[in-house]
Every structure is written in structure tokens, then in C-alpha cells.
Amino acid sequence: MTQGTSGSRPGPYRAIICDLDGVVYRGGMACPGAVEGLTAARAAGIRVLYLTNNAGHRPEEVEERLRGLGLPVASGEVITSSMVAAAHVATLTPPREDAVTLAVGGPGVRLCLERAGVRTVSPADLSDGDGPPVWAVVQGYGAQLTVSDLNEAAYAIHDGALWVATNADSTLPTERGLAPGNGSMLAAVGHGTGRTPDLVVGKPERPAFQRCLEVLGLAPEEVLTIGDRLDTDIAGARAVGIPTALVLTGVHDRDDVEAAAPERCPDIIVDTIPDLGLVAGG
């Protein structure tokens, strides 16, 4: 067993579902071994999807950030929670032909809905009170989100619209500390409407991981999830039967695993991604 590895060496796997913050980068810096490990895995034919709860940014912005670290990333290899929400809403039939979906959050929320073929409006489109009927609300994080945006979400939800949340993270780590995340914005709308979201799609919820499996066209056991958090990456992947690796470059450490409930424990713990031994001789 490689030094710094706990558990048996995994694989062989046909694909990796990789978390970003704490696995690929931390702040502006790449995590130790991440670029080398993921580049080698990809070169060896292991497909890599990057799964993030980030909803407000466009997928291309996330891809660009990864390329900036030196990672080879093709279009479509980043899956944001807005993409998962949009793929879900696109499978549903609106109750009437003129009904629209309200996108609340950063530009990524609306963009992903439109790309999925969903008829979408923004809160500003409804502000005169004379807009088309809203049958669904997709709510994700947006740094420029306003109270007016939350108001429009609340009006539609009051009127019975389906409420889909990209993710329910209560906090958002920033350079100055923890800021309120999308879960806190959901709580504001929930407090004002007496409702909770009908569906949350982001990690640790199942739709995020199920969407990755759909995109890959693979069975859970053919894929490895790599994450740094037991409560989101590991618990979420385990819930859909995907093998899991905890990498110790982010939030949780070996003591956290010792203290965790079994359903949050990874199959393997490694210091860095190359320690996974995914690539023969690597």
C-alpha cells in the first residue's frame, strides 16, 4: 500500500467525478498533486467530470479556471448544479403552453435552463406584474441577487410553482470568511412562503451524481468520486452506489473519518490524487 493511503487501491475505473474546491484548487492555488494526477488519469483514458454546486457561474467560466491551472478540460466536462437543475426541469411538461420557468440567481442559472430548451424568464421580466405564468422556479446562487429577485420567486411559489434549488449550501467560503450561501437564500424565500424547495439537485443530493452517470453513460461501480468533504462528496456519491475517495487536500481529515457515520465514510483515503494509483506505474 502506498504511504499516505488508507483502504485498498481502487479500480480500475472508467471515469472520475471530481470535486473542485479542496480537491483541484484551494483559493487561487492548485492542490498538491491534483493537476498531475488528473492529467495522468485522463491521458490513460479515464474520463473526468468536474461536479460543482456552483450555480451562478457559466460552465465555461469554471472550465477556463481549470485550464488556467494547467488542466486539460474539454467543453462539457464541468457539470454545475444549474446544469443538473436544468436537465431535470427539461424532462417535465409545463401545465400550459405559455408557462415559463423563473431563473433566480447568477447568469449560469438562466443560461443552463435555456441551453436545456426550457422557456425561461428572469425576475426583471416579471417586475411589472404582467408577465407570463410561472410554473417552475429554479433558484441558485448569484452574487448580484436582489431582494426583488427573491420577491419574484416568493410570488411564484405562493402561487403554486414548482421550486427547484440548485443546492442548499448554507455558507459560501470567501477570502474574508463564510458568506451566506444559496441555502440561506432558500431559507429567506422559505421563511416568507412557508414552503421548502420541492427538489434540491446539488451535492449531497442524488440528482447531481445521477446526472453525471447519465452524461458518462456508465454504471455507478465503474466510476470513482473524489472529494474533500464527507457530508457532500462522499455521502452523496455513496447514496447512489458510486465508490468514493477522500483526498486530504481540503476540508476533512482522517480524524473526521474516524468520527463519521458509516454512510459518510470513503472507500479509500489518500493524501493526494496521485496516491490513488489510478494509472499503472503512476
| CA–CA dist 133, 159 (Å, integer) | 10
Q: Is 169 in the site for Mg ion (CB under 5 A)?
A: no
Q: Is 63 in the site for Mg ion (CB under 5 A)?
A: no
Residue whose CB is less far from Mg ion, 53 or 82 = 53
Which residue stretch of 36-44, 65-73, 183-191, 227-235 sits at the interface with Mg ion (rule: CB under 5 A)? 227-235
Q: Where are the alpha helices (DSSP H) in 159-253?
A: 182-193, 206-216, 235-239
Q: Strands 268-270 and 5-6: what pairing? A: antiparallel
Q: Is 228 in the site for Mg ion (CB under 5 A)?
A: yes
Distances (CA, A) of 217 to 236, 239, 262: 19, 18, 28
Residue 167 CB, nearest distance to Mg ion (Å)? 12
Catalytic one of 19, 169, 233, 267: 19
Which residue stretch of 13-21, 148-156, 178-186, 264-272 sits at the interface with Mg ion (rule: CB under 5 A)? 13-21
Binding site per annotation, positions for substrate: 203
Residue whose CB is less far from Mg ion, 30 or 154 = 30
Output the nine-digit C-alpha cell for 258: 474516524
CA angle 182, 187, 193 (to 5 degrees): 130
| CA–CA dist 106, 57 (Å, integer) | 6
Residue 171 CB, nearest distance to Mg ion (Å)? 13
21 is catalytic: yes
| CA–CA dist 76, 73 (Å, integer) | 8
How many residues at the interface with Mg ion, by CB under 5 A?
Answer: 4
Rounded to the nearest 5 percent, the helix, strand and coil shares of the chain are 35, 20, 40
Choosing from 19, 152, 169, 205, the residue that interacts with Mg ion (CB under 5 A) is 19
- CA 134 from chain centre, in angstroms, equals 25
Choosing from 5, 13, 22, 41, the residue that interacts with Mg ion (CB under 5 A) is 22
19 is catalytic: yes
Output the nine-digit C-alpha cell for 67: 485550464
Residue 278 CB, nearest distance to Mg ion (Å)? 19
Choosing from 21, 77, 152, 169, the residue that interacts with Mg ion (CB under 5 A) is 21
Beta strand segments in 70-133, E: 78-80, 100-104, 120-121
Binding site per annotation, positions: 19, 21, 203, 228
Q: Phi-psi region for residue 15, left (φ > 0), alpha (ψ -120 to 50) or beta?
A: beta
| CA–CA dist 65, 115 (Å, integer) | 21
Residue 135 CB, nearest distance to Mg ion (Å)? 34
Residue whose CB is less far from Mg ion, 22 or 207 = 22
Residue 223 CB, nearest distance to Mg ion (Å)? 18
Residues annotated as catalytic are 19, 21
The binding site for Mg ion (CB under 5 A) comprises 19, 21-22, 228
